[in-house]
Amino acid sequence: ESATAFGCLVSDMWLGEFDYVSPEAFHSVFGKRYPAFSKRTQHDAQEFLICVLDDLHEAFKEVRAQLWCQERQSPATGASTRSSSDTSIITQLFEGQLSYGITCLTCQALSDRPESFTVLSLPIPSTRVCSLQDCLECFFQPDTLTRSNQIHCYWCGGNQDATVQASITKAPQIIIFHLKRFAWQDKHRRKLSTTVCYPFSDLDLSPYISTSCCNNTEYSLCAVVNHAGDLDYGHYTAFCKHSVTKHWYSFDDAQVTKIPDSAVQADTAYLLFY
């Protein structure tokens, strides 16, 4: 099972007995469950991350349900009931909630569409340099739905133009941002090499969070996944902050090195973990 293989991988990493640990065993088991990732070809780190989180969620959810059933089993009858909970340690750490506020431009009726997320894919609004806040503002700015994107308004009884704006109604403990570096420009898909400046601490998400949300809104950077290369080829590396020493380390295949804080700000950043 991939969850067991992942647990062994994490255990080997934290035991500190090796200079580096290869994820071969986890990759082999995971590839059997997700054949698309079994081949040694180029894959997208964001897509892989989502599959890993989903897979771990399903595994831990099943264990949680089994334990819950055992605890709820009646000594007298032996009967048990199943938990309706769909939560796991993965959802507790990584799952957030968005709400899309949709306003009909004809009758001004407002409706909300909730949506869960584990990764927020942010557009990059510049070709040269921008900040993470610029990306967030672009993602959360109001948009107008017209023509083929019109909504069907219940109150008007027909298709109408509308505005839509997202807000965070549940902020996750760990929030992951995916910088959309692979985008369509002039009918061609290309990689954006824009420098995105991101804060190491005090990332304040309060401007994008609903007033009904009572979660903590300030975050600190804990990891970065980098992509060097172009559309059809490339190389992934990672920067991770040690939870105890607070030192940053670079993970580049078998090379694990301590790096200064200044090296963590990189033009190759692709995924940001806060």
Q: What is the pLDDT of residues 36-62, one digit of tens each?
A: 998 878 899 999 999 999 999 999 987
249: in domain: no
Taking 80 as the threshold, does the pLDDT of residue 73 lie above it?
Answer: no
125: in domain: no
Mean pLDDT of the chain: 90
Taking 70 as the threshold, does the pLDDT of residue 190 lie above it?
Answer: yes
**Where does the pLDDT of residue 67 fall: very low under 50, low under 70, confident under 90, or very high at 90 and above?**
low
**Where does the pLDDT of residue 83 fall: very low under 50, low under 70, confident under 90, or very high at 90 and above?**
very low
pLDDT in tens, 130-184: 999 999 999 999 999 999 999 999 999 999 999 999 999 999 999 999 999 987 7
**Where does the pLDDT of residue 74 fall: very low under 50, low under 70, confident under 90, or very high at 90 and above?**
very low
Of the listed ranges 38-47, 80-89, 185-194, the least confidently predicted one is: 80-89
15: in domain: yes
Q: Give the pLDDT of residue 1.
A: 83
Share of the chain above pLDDT 70, in %: 91
Total number of domains in the chain: 1
13: in domain: yes
Q: Give the pLDDT of residue 66.
A: 56
63: in domain: yes
Segments forming the whole domain that contains residue 24:
1-70+86-94
Taking 80 as the threshold, does the pLDDT of residue 214 lie above it?
Answer: no
SS (H, E, C) the chain: CHHHHHHHHHHHHHHCCCCCCCCHHHHHHHHHHCHHHCCCCCCCHHHHHHHHHHHHHHHHHHHHHHHHHHHHCCCCCCCCCCCCCCCCHHHHHHCEEEEEEEEECCCCCEEEEEEEECEEEECCCCCCEEEHHHHHHHHHCCEEECHHHCEEECCCCEEECEEEEEEEEECCCCCEEEECCEEEECCEEEECCCEEECCCCCEECHHHECCCCCCCCEECCCEEEEEEECCCCEEEEEEEECCCCCCEEEEECCEEEEECHHHHCCCCEEEEEC
Q: Is the pTM of this model over 0.85?
A: yes
41: in domain: yes
26: in domain: yes
- The arithmetic mean of pLDDT across residues 21-37, rounded, is 93
Q: Give the pLDDT of residue 86.
A: 84
3: in domain: yes
